[in-house]
Structure 1
């Protein structure tokens, strides 16, 4: 690929590197709702949402604004009941994140009088707040000196510094943070960090970047940016089958299961059974979804042939049909249940 030659060492001319990046951002930076606020609570919500979800999804499907409408501040979030909390987060997945957000809100109230601390050490003591989130809060909410390292920043830095070791190894992450702190702008942290992250999102993209449009191309040492960053080998994806039961009683109610465990605790879904128990029943719906390292094929079986007094299992209850879709559910089951309700 065509790439402008390296001319300047970013570590030796840090001011020039910052100015080039910030100048580009001042003309090209995108307008996101969390960039229009200095409220640390609103910035925290955006950061946690974006940890596992793309910006286009968070904005396009209204997750960010909808969540803030339901829980506009730390006080409302701190007292949120599980059902309402999970419903507001529905569709984003990784539900442990929103429960941890509630714990963060509670700690801000009980330990800091409802105001977010500004010191890095105090921020990192909040539940669920690590080094990146603490730096993001300091920089974006308080405009205080801070460094941030996420996937976009690691990709930019690995290419700028021509770093060919694994960026997601302990040594690699240590190096990324060291460079991020050296290059960080102590005078304009909010602008600089936003610019660095957006550069990774839009220009210094995964795969083949747009080097000809890059504002810091002359500071970039690598000659083969498409080969960087180097990461540890991905975990193999395992295919699994999930067999769910679609069953309605004489009153038209739907049998649902409320989940336990850490990943989906409190969410509702169709009851599942071992394949040998219900695989002989007709299949009404087949869909697939991915969760962590699993590729799941979900089959919903018609339970109409089962006895009408079919005994529910543990944590399984009959729910009035008109109330089903108001419950918080994992997205794969919501889609299946929605289709089956329309067809029945």
Structure 2
């Protein structure tokens, strides 16, 4: 991957920055250069669209306006504010890192590569984004948008899913980046990838750096970048119980503190097999795990939810409670329809809640 494809580094830099300053979107995290707000926005924007992030960002900052506010918050409140964004480990890592800033740095986000990179969940991209945007330090911030733009600019056929390619692009950015305005340069690359140099149909006719683009010159812009195809997500078939007690309360259960969707709440569920009837598997599960004697009713809802590596196929059954034993699952609780809204649920179980408790919440 060579940089000599760009005839004028200075010209590319100036054209990009000039375009960005005249066309940048009005986004809430661009209102000032608060490193904490920029940090929150960058974590939220990982694997999530800008349009989705905006209301979450505004609500999150309103609830946790400073490093100290987030550091001292209850994790359940943080997860509730994050509810619906997915990839909940991002929120946990963010709070863990912010707590370290609160404890070790007096609540001030560090402005050195060495220090900020020590924080949990802060990788090369996030550190580069914070340092360049908030502190005007010329560090590369290479995300998917940036890799796509640079791959097209220099007509690179290197696979962008490989770490080696990312490293090469980081080295190129170190040469290209403006020392006078690294904030506008990095944001310009990101904005160009989001608005103009899009994945499938780039708007080359209105691209501000078209004259610097080798892929456009060679008419291969739609063939680049090269990226290996992802493997198909593994499907997991599941059965879920919607069950009420005599007081009209619903049983919910908290997931373990490690692993997928850690500490979030859900309706009791299990992975099912094809060897036994679903009703028997669900009955045995509720008795073994929750000491509940039940009758499984009809399937009342169905949810498909796709993660990056996994697909949940969930069948939801209405369950009649006959009696409960003395032993209860220590991570489960009976809640009313008014109380349930205070608990953070993953998206799949939010759908179940909204369907099964429609008109009650």
Q: TM-score, length-normalised on structure 2? A: 0.88
Partner of 1:93: 86
Structure 2 stretches of 5 or more lacking a match?
A: 273-277, 284-295
Larger mean CA deviation between 244-253 and 216-225 belongs to: 216-225
Separation of aligned partners in 1, 2:300 and 2:323: 19
1:182-201 alignment, distance < 5 Å: 182-201=175-194
Tell me the TM-score normalised to structure 1 length: 0.92
Shift, 1:26, TM fit = 2.0
Is the aligned partner of 1:273 residue 2:274? Answer: no
Is the Cα contact below 8 Å between 1:270 and 1:333 reproduced in 2?
yes
Could you list the per-position Cα deviations for residues 249-289 of structure 1 after superposition, in whole angstroms to 9, with x for gaps in the alignment? 11111011110133222211100135332396410111211
Any runs of at least 4 consecutive aligned residues in structure 1 with deviations exceeding 4 A, and if so which?
Answer: 8-12, 310-314
Asked if the contact 1:11/1:183 (under 8 Å) is kept, the reply is no
1:264 aligns with 2:261: yes
Matched-pair contact (CA < 8 Å) for 2:7–2:212: no
Instruction: Specify the alignment match of 1:243 in structure 2.
Output: 239
> Match of 1:319?
335
Comparing both chains, which one has the higher relative contact order based on Cα–Cα distances under 8 Å and sequence gaps of 6 or more? Answer: 1
- Report the CA distance between 1:343 and its aligned residue: 6.3
* Residue of structure 2 aligned with 1:307, choices 307, 319, 322: 322
Q: Distance in 1 between matches of 2:163 and 2:94?
A: 26
Deviation digits for residues 66-105 of structure 1 (CA, Å, limit 9, x no counterpart): 0011111111111111211111111111111111111111
User: Which ranges of structure 1 fall in alignment gaps of 5 or more residues?
Assistant: 1-7
**1:47 paired residue number:** 42
Q: How many residues of Structure 1 are paired with residues of Structure 2 in the alignment?
A: 334
Aligned residue number for residue 141 of structure 2: 148
In the alignment, the residues of structure 2 paired with residue 147 and residue 309 of structure 1 have an alpha-carbon distance, to the nearest angstrom, of 58
| Match of residue 232 from structure 1 | 228
The 5 A counterparts of 1:102-251 are: 102-222=95-215, 223-251=219-247
Q: Is the 8 A contact 1:258 1:266 kept in 2?
A: yes
Deviation string, structure 1 residues 225-262 (Cα, Å, up to 9, x no partner): 11111112211222222210010011111011110133
How far apart are residue 124 of structure 1 and its match? 0.9
